[in-house]
Chains A and B, each alone.
Chain A
Amino acid sequence: MSAAQKNLRTFLVDAIRWNVSGGIGFQIFRLLLFIGMGVGIYAYSFQARYGLAVTGMNDIVSWGFYISNFTFLVGVAAAAVMLILPAYIFHDPDFHRVVIIGEGVAVGALVMCLCFILVDLGGPLQAWHLIPGIGIFNFPSSILAWDVLVLNGYLLLNALVPAYILYCHYRGKTADERKYRPFVFLSIFWAFSIHMVTAFLYQGLPARPFWNNPLMGPRFLASAFAAGPALIALILAVIHNSSSYKIERTVFNKLRLIIVVSAIINLIMLFSEIFKEFYFPTHHSSSAIYLFFGMDGHNSLVPWIWSSVGVNFLATLVLAFNPGKNNPRVLLPACGFLFVAIWMEKGIGLIVPGLIPSPLGEVVDYLPTWVELGVTLGILSLGITVVSWLIRTALIIEQDYAQQLQQERLP
């Protein structure tokens, strides 16, 4: 197809065509994701009929697995900035080739964030009450209103800038940097803002001393800039091994540095928090005591948080001292473990103990039900589907464009 015949319609048609074709392994992967989404819809149908009573939440633990995953995934979305910053601002050639993958991950993570918020609502049919104009938007008083704004804005920025660049490349043209550069700058500030605002959501509640802590925002950023690039390193490794799009070794080395620095800052802040809670425990420390040691015979989170801290510490050590001398068989599992450890701590380990004990001192345990797990599986499958579609489309276009550039250079 010549460049002249390529328009927005063929762009979309081609994107769909590339994504429904593929080898047998890819089709099985796709089928599994569809099954996951089906499980999610089936589980949600119970919630739609019987309300949130089918979840493990109650008036004391009023936010659970959904909001935990939401909080963590905001960090994953924000972490794309760790690729955008060097690629677009410092013109790092290694990162320029992978930045599109980071943006794809950010879009997928944001889609999951918004889905987690939607399934957590008691009245999803009333969600339109949030839309300014037809509803009422409690701005600037409610931090949740800010969060709705920054999340949707970041989704738009991260979807539209790459879409513009890809569309230009699809048509065999260079993307005009003057047009998209301001939006890239904006998206860098925006990435920090989505995570800070999400932290402020909790940090701004004097009712919850465990969250009402000025370190919350910075710690969110540090943990996100460790977990996000760790996930991106894993995805890059999968792409490197399963497609013809090869990733340079130097990209992994640079990502390792970013992860190590962020993970160490994260651990220092964790230590600082633990010191404050336990050197001289006050009644404001009761959530931390519940989390780390259990309280009144309720201790369901104790093994959870200690495994998280332990794995986090070990994975950080492995990444920092690099015992395999850049051997991916050592570094990639370490990235995986670090990601899971931060998910455990920044998800359930942060949200649930913030609500326990209740303001009137009652201690209960929280366990997600199969409905919450099923819905979460569905949303994760949806997110992975979105990421895989975006990245596959992007990589095919980029490879064709690189080929075209090479041909033009030849006489």
Chain B
Amino acid sequence: MRLHKKDDPKHLIQEVLEKPSNRRSFLKGVSIAAAAGSAALTAGCIPDAEGTGLEEARLRWQEFFKKNYRLMSQEEKEQTVRRLERLASIQDQAQLQIGSEPPLEKVLFGYAFNISRCEGFMECVTACVKENNLDRKSNTQYIRIFEMEPGQLDPGTGDGQFYHKVPVDHKFYTGTQCFHCENAPCTKACPTRATWKEPDGIVVVDYDWCIGCRYCQAACPYYGRRFNWGQSEVPKEEVTPKQHYLGNRKRPKGKMEKCTFCIQRTRKGRLPACVEACPTGSRVFGNLLDPDSEIRYVLKHKKVFRMREELGTDPKFWYFID
């Protein structure tokens, strides 16, 4: 049985997706789409392959010509994340919730790492890989943990490939990741402004605006950036569905990515995955503008230092000693 075009639920969904809308009509549209979708389900009417092919082509076309994320209005941001969600459901049959939450007011994120407490268990690395949907094929990791000899501080002198039982006596452990520099060399280098520092201090990449020249990677003195040399692969059952446009969403091949302080979590008031996962409590994260935060306590009462201070990059990542 063919439905009349106007009543076709698939057609309705498309109309909703393409119509420019404000927040209210958007919410209304979502409810219509949900209704239409459930109608389609109950009717057992599976959209035919040719129709979704057309829709996919249209969505990809719109995605190709979209603006830099920073130039989008909040409405355009919502449209693009809806398109990305729809594309994920067409291409990978994945039900994702991609967010576009703006930075919180009066928040500047900072991070501290306790080198006297870390014991090199690498729970943080595992949690980060899982949370941020990092490529399992090339084994991409944002966090590096180094086993250090006493008397050294620069991770460059440590062993970043250790594979044995930890902790080892007379060694200590230190970690690196993107330091979200206030004076970031990477954002200065980017020829298309595809990477920038958000008002809450997080250095982000617009994966769809990046052209993949890798100049930022050459400019980073901390090895904080990773490139998608091929198409990233994450087993479907392991995908973290709660995502952010600037965070853990699927990265296309040929684009730069990096630690975002788990922007999809921290902008909703949660802790980054690495902080939550750390079994020794070596990782401290919080709002530098809040005088009562733990990070401020650490900066005030502990002996802290930063990596390669002499470069003037002003990282928002401190190391400290108990």
Question: Residues on A close to B: CB < 8 A?
Answer: 50-55, 57-60, 62-63, 117, 120-127, 129-130, 135-138, 141-145, 148, 201, 205-208, 283, 354-355, 357-362
Contacts and interface: CB of A to CB of B under 8 A. Distances in A.
6 contacts: A52-B212, A60-B223, A207-B219, A360-B222, A361-B156, A361-B160
Contact of B230 (A53, A121, A201, A208): A53
Nearest to A206: B311
A208 B193 CA distance: 22
A57 B209 CA distance: 22
Most A C-beta atoms less than 10 A away, residue of B138, B193, B218, B219: B218
Contacts of B37: none
A51 B230 contact: yes
B68 interface: yes
B210 interface: yes
A107 to B, nearest CB: 23
B191 interface: yes
Nearest to A134: B65
Contact of A58 (B158, B185, B208, B229): B229
A82 B68 CA distance: 42
A359 B223 CA distance: 6
Contacts of B213: 117, 120-122, 144
Contacts of A206: 185, 221, 311
Nearest to B208: A126
Given A120-B214, A121-B213, A122-B214, 18 more contacts: A52-B212, A53-B229, A55-B229, A59-B229, A122-B253, A123-B210, A123-B254, A129-B192, A141-B188, A142-B190, A143-B189, A145-B191, A206-B311, A208-B218, A283-B156, A360-B222, A361-B154, A362-B160
A120 B209 CA distance: 16
Interface string B225-255: 1111111000000000000000000001111
| Residue from B156, B158, B229, B231 whose CB has the most chain A CB atoms within 10 Å | B229
B119 to A, nearest CB: 20
B11 interface: no
B227 A122 contact: yes
A102 B183 CA distance: 43
A207 B220 contact: yes
Contacts, number: 140
Interface string B285-303: 0000000000000000000
Interface of B: 64, 68, 71, 138, 144, 146, 154-158, 160, 176, 185, 188-194, 208-215, 217-223, 225-231, 252-256, 311
Contact of A130 (B156, B211, B222): B211
Nearest to A117: B213
A63 B216 CA distance: 12
Contacts of A57: 229
A46 to B, nearest CB: 11
Contact of B155 (A122, A125, A135, A361): A361
A118 to B, nearest CB: 10
B211 A121 contact: yes
A60 B154 CA distance: 18
A124 B157 CA distance: 37
Nearest to B161: A362
Given A57-B229, A360-B156, A62 B218 contact: yes
Contacts of A59: 217, 223, 225-227, 229
B319 to A, nearest CB: 14
Contacts of A121: 211-213, 254
A361 B191 contact: no
A60 B208 CA distance: 23
Given A59-B217, A122-B254, A207-B185, A142 B191 contact: yes
A108 to B, nearest CB: 23
A144 B221 CA distance: 18
A192 to B, nearest CB: 22
B317 to A, nearest CB: 14
A138 B254 contact: no
B193 A136 contact: yes
A144 B194 contact: no
A132 to B, nearest CB: 11
Contacts of B189: 142-144, 205
B210 A126 contact: yes
A138 B190 contact: yes
Contacts of A207: 185, 218-221, 311
Contacts of A124: 211
Q: A121, A126, A283 — which one has the most chain B CB atoms within 10 A of its CB?
A: A126
B215 A142 contact: yes
B156 A357 contact: yes
A126 B209 contact: yes
A136 B227 contact: no
Nearest to A351: B218
B194 A142 contact: no
A59 B224 CA distance: 10
A355 B218 CA distance: 7
A306 B256 CA distance: 35
Please list the 7 inter-chain residue pairs (A to B) with the smallest Cβ-Cβ separation, ordered nearest first.
A122-B212, A122-B254, A361-B156, A53-B230, A207-B221, A144-B191, A53-B229
A360 B154 CA distance: 8
A136 B192 CA distance: 5
A122 B229 CA distance: 8
A205 B219 contact: yes
B144 A360 contact: yes
Contacts of B255: 122-123
A41 B103 CA distance: 45
A138 B192 contact: yes
Nearest to A209: B221
Contacts of B217: 59, 62
B228 A138 contact: no
Given A120-B213, A126-B211, A52 B223 contact: no
A284 to B, nearest CB: 11
Contacts of B71: 136
B191 A137 contact: yes
Contacts of A130: 191-192, 211
B243 to A, nearest CB: 20
A126 B190 CA distance: 14
A137 B38 CA distance: 45
A160 B160 CA distance: 54
A126 B146 CA distance: 37
A351 to B, nearest CB: 10
A205 B217 CA distance: 11
A52 B231 CA distance: 10
